[in-house]
Amino acid sequence: MNIQIIAVGKLKETYLVQGIAEYVKRLGPYAKVQIVEVPDEKAPESMSAAEEVQVRQREGERILAKLPADAYVVALAIDGKPLSSEELARQVQDLATYGRSHMAFVIGGSLGLAPEVLARADLKLSFGRMTLPHQLMRLVLVEQVYRAFKIIRGEPYHK
């Protein structure tokens, strides 16, 4: 299975970089994982609604350019479908069973994802209604992907 995580912005916090690297290493026996960072749009603190749309659109264009045509795209969105860890594992397993060996998870910037990216998504996934920093979301996501593979294989993993 090929797992791609496309995220807006560059990680600067060492503890997040280290945590993500640890889970990517643990995923090695199960999947090939690639993390792709696309540049975030520089934006002032206070923007008009039109400026926010432009920021999302520019970031969205960068994301869409990185998505392979054959990828099953999972967009992380607050208004997406909430799944348990077991349900995510079933989703990953079903895709592999039916020959969809490339999954791309998309994490937007601080303003979220452009409508074009959401339209390209095969699944909109929510990790809950709380707002989390998009940098932290990368760590949470890669941990859940690792957990999914442990569940699929029936291997023990802490709860």
> How crowded is the C-beta side of 107, counted as CA atoms within 13 Å?
26
Q: How many domains does the chain have?
A: 1
Residue 135 placed within a domain? yes
User: Which residues make Cβ contacts (< 8 Å) with residue 79, sequence separation at least 6?
Assistant: 124, 126
Sorted by sequence, the CB contacts under 8 Å of residue 117 that are 6+ apart come out as 60, 63, 64, 75, 106, 108
In-domain check, residue 67: yes
Per-residue pLDDT tens over the stretch 71-125: 999 999 999 999 999 999 999 999 988 888 899 999 999 899 999 999 999 999 9
**Which DSSP string corresponds to 43-63?**
--SS--HHHHHHHHHHHHHHH
pLDDT for residue 22 is more than 70: yes
Q: Whole-model pTM?
A: 0.94
Chain position carrying tokens 């659109």: 57
Between 64 and 133, the more confident residue is 64
Binding-site residues for S-adenosyl-L-methionine sit at 76, 108, 127-132
The answer to whether 7 and 104 have CB atoms below 8 angstroms apart is no
The domain spanning residue 122 has which CATH number? 3.40.1280.10
CA distance 126 to 76: 6
Does residue 99 lie within any of the structural domains?
A: yes
Domain that holds residue 131: 2-153
- Classify residue 75: in a domain, yes or no: yes
Cα-Cα-Cα-Cα torsion 57, 16, 1, 151, nearest 10 degrees, comes to -120
Residue 44: predicted pLDDT: 76
Annotated binding-site members: 76, 108, 127-132
The model's confidence at residue 158, banded by pLDDT at 50, 70 and 90, is low
- pLDDT value at residue 28: 96
Residue 159 placed within a domain: no
Between 132 and 158, the more confident residue is 132
Q: What digits encode the pLDDT tens for the residues 30-80?
A: 999 999 999 999 877 888 999 999 999 999 999 999 999 999 999 999 999
Q: How far apart are the first and last CA of the chain?
A: 24
Does the structure show a pLDDT above 70 at 159? no
Q: Exposed/middle/buried for 159, CB within 10 Å: 0-12, 13-18, 19+?
A: exposed
CA distances to 18, 25, 139 from 13, in Å? 9, 19, 11
Does residue 39 lie in a domain region? yes
Q: Is residue 115 part of a domain?
A: yes
Would 158 be classed as within a structural domain?
no
